[in-house]
Amino acid sequence: MALAQDAAAAIAEATGIPEHDFALVLGSGWGGAAEMIGETTATITTADIPGFSAPAVQGHVGTIRSIRTPQGKNALVIGSRTHFYEGKGVRAVVHGVRTAAASGCKIMILTNGCGGLNPACGPGTPVLIKDHINLTATSPLEGATFVDLTDLYSSRLRAIAKEVDPSLDEGVYVQFPGPHYETPAEVQMAKIIGGDLVGMSTALEAIAARAAGMEVFGISLVTNLAAGISDQPLSHEEVIEAGREAGPRISALLADIVGKL
């Protein structure tokens, strides 16, 4: 937690803004939203902030932006996400979220690119996260830290999103450890236990955000149908391409949702 406080202090000094109102982690396909949310008032290289490092995944940017929205709020856009599969430990995975909390953020917006289990929600479809299943076999919380996750993904924020786009579907996100894609049998397991989306991020961050007292909003972009749902092989290039094609549309959607917060 002390490292997050140090990072927040460094961000406040670099941006000239003592506290931010909300934060966003922009995953695969969502990066364009930063340009639409408002005016960027400061851009920081994440490697210059305590506890952060350069992104390890193609399609992610290594910056933190401070953005002033038209509604007069200050948003912190975290472009560098550490994934569990990078082997840096869970504390590193949730450092961005904890830094956002230490920076005063009351809302944490988590986005990702994911595999879809429903053929009706093909590549390019945004899906609200209503719940998750954490299959990483770990937690960002340590010791006797008991946190209620009943309404982890805020129903209030999901209702706002549906005001913007009533056609948005909701689903349960399943976080696997990665970095390998899931096998068809694992995908079927995820489906049987109630999953709609599969990916390698978000769940651990959401837990840390709730523990820090933030309201959590999650939204996924289906970049591919999961293994066994489609007969096509999986590739990271497919994920990047689906994100590129859907980027302008989903970025505008997210910016509209942010404008109502």
By annotation, the residues acting in catalysis are: 182
The residues facing 24 across adjacent strands are 77, 109
Q: Which helix (H) or strand (E) holds 176?
A: none
Helices (H), ranges, 41-196: 90-93, 95-102, 155-164, 184-192
Candidates 256, 156, 127; CA nearest to 214 is 156
Residue-level length of the chain: 261
Task: Give Cα 198 to chain centroid, integer Å.
Answer: 13
Q: Which helix (H) or strand (E) holds 236?
A: helix 236-258
Residue 119: count other Cβ atoms within 10 Å of its Cβ.
9
Contact predicate 257/235, CB 8 Å: no
Amino acid at 102: A
Residue 121: count other Cβ atoms within 10 Å of its Cβ.
18
Candidates 146, 177, 158; CA nearest to 109 is 158
Task: Give Cα 180 to chain centroid, integer Å.
Answer: 19
Amino acid at 162: K
